[in-house]
Amino acid sequence: MLDASARKYLRGRAHHLEAVVQIGKDGVTDQVIQEIERTADRVELLKIRVRPNAPLGAREIATDLASRLRGEIIGTVGRVIIYFLPGKDETAFPEINR
In a domain, 90, yes or no: no
Residue ranges making up the domain that contains 10: 4-84
Q: What is the CATH number of the domain that holds 62?
A: 3.30.110.60
98 within some domain: no
The neighbour count for residue 25, using CB atoms within 10 Å, is 9
Which 3 state secondary structure label does DSSP give 22? strand
**Residues above pLDDT 90, as percent of the chain:** 74
Q: 48 pLDDT band (50/70/90 cuts)?
A: very high
What is residue 76's predicted lDDT score, i.e. its pLDDT? 96
Domain count, the chain: 1
What does the pLDDT look like over 63-94, one tens digit per residue? 999 999 988 999 999 999 999 988 766 666 76
Residue 91 lies in a domain: no
| Cβ proximity of 17 and 45 under 8 Å | yes
pTM assigned to the model: 0.89
Cα distance between the two ends of the chain: 7
